[in-house]
Homo-oligomer: A and B are copies of this chain.
Amino acid sequence: MNPVLLKKVLNGLARGRITVAEAMERLRHLPFQEIGHSTVDRHRALRQGYPEVIFCEGKTVQEIVQIAAHICATGENLLATRAGEEVYQKLRQQFPNAVYHRRARVVTVELRKLRKAKGFIAVVSAGTADAPVAEEAAVTAEIMGNAVRRFYDVGVAGLHRIISKLPELSRARVIVVAAGMEGALPSVVGGLVGTPVIAVPTSVGYGASFKGVAALLGMLNSCAAGVTVVNIDNGFGAGYAAALINKR
């Protein structure tokens, strides 16, 4: 229970400044405020680098702008994922410093500069087509105050590409790997480094890739320990989890 708030009420009561009825009224919503409080607490923590996020898919442009206005009023940084060109144009009208990360289909509005975490997050993609998902992860991690280094188009079909990046990769504090088709890259990376790897299957592929299922299964069955997985095309989730880990 929020001791400060509670003590204040109880002291007021003990000192006769408020009546029992008033105390009860103030405490009436405490349990949920309390949970709200821990939430607030958590939110406070979150405020130290966590953006407010809008998942734009399935929302109208108008709805998105309204939610964005609500968020920006709090002074928090905004992250709008799966945002089309039109969403960006509308947001830019209201928030002049809105930035459109076109490849990632992400709009960010950075209202206050964050102190960067010490290490860096590596974001790796297997093929060119996986880059939008990788970018969503990278931009998410950046808006949360992380340095990000990108290693794109280094898939296993040309193994020398990823091996040549190994020295730098192995200095990352957490690695996000986006890959479609057979999704083998996280296994290869995970086998080469002693770093947490977050694998993001992408829907890149055709036929028996089943829109990312083949990659997803491949990653879940990775023979390299230390690999965890997020949903297909969920670059945001990977970037977010990587940021939480890097902040540790």
Binding site for B on A (CB under 8 A): 1, 3, 6-7, 10-11, 13-14, 16, 19-20, 23-24, 27-32, 34-36, 38-39, 41-42, 45-46, 50, 53, 57-59, 63, 119, 126-129, 155-160, 163-164, 166-167, 170, 173-174, 181-184, 187-188, 190-196, 198, 201, 203-234, 236-238, 240-241, 244-246, 248
Bound together, the chains give a CA A244 to CA B232 distance in angstroms of 24
Cross-chain contact A208 with B228 (CB below 8 angstroms)? no
Give the contacting residue for A46; candidates B194, B214, B216; CB below 8 A: B194
Give the contacting residue for A45; candidates B14, B194, B206, B246; CB below 8 A: B194
Which secondary structure dominates where chain A touches chain B? Answer: helix
Cross-chain contact B241 with A226 (CB below 8 angstroms)? yes
Q: With A191-B157, A229-B229 given, is the CB distance from A31 to B217 under 8 Å? A: no
Q: With A42-B170, A226-B244 given, is the CB distance from A7 to B24 under 8 Å? A: yes
Question: A126 to chain B: which residues have CB within 8 Å?
Answer: 223
Q: With A181-B222, A228-B198 given, is the CB distance from A32 to B163 under 8 Å? A: yes
Q: How many copies make up the complex?
A: 8
Give the contacting residue for A217; candidates B23, B34, B217; CB below 8 A: B217
Q: Which residue of B lies closest to A246 (CB)?
A: B248
Cβ of A36 to closest chain B Cβ, rounded Å: 5
Bound together, the chains give a CA A182 to CA B156 distance in angstroms of 13
Cross-chain contact B39 with A195 (CB below 8 angstroms)? no
Cross-chain contact A207 with B196 (CB below 8 angstroms)? no
Cross-chain contact B30 with A30 (CB below 8 angstroms)? yes
Question: A167 to chain B: which residues have CB within 8 Å?
Answer: 38
Cross-chain contact B208 with A231 (CB below 8 angstroms)? yes
Q: Which residue of B lies closest to A225 (CB)?
A: B240
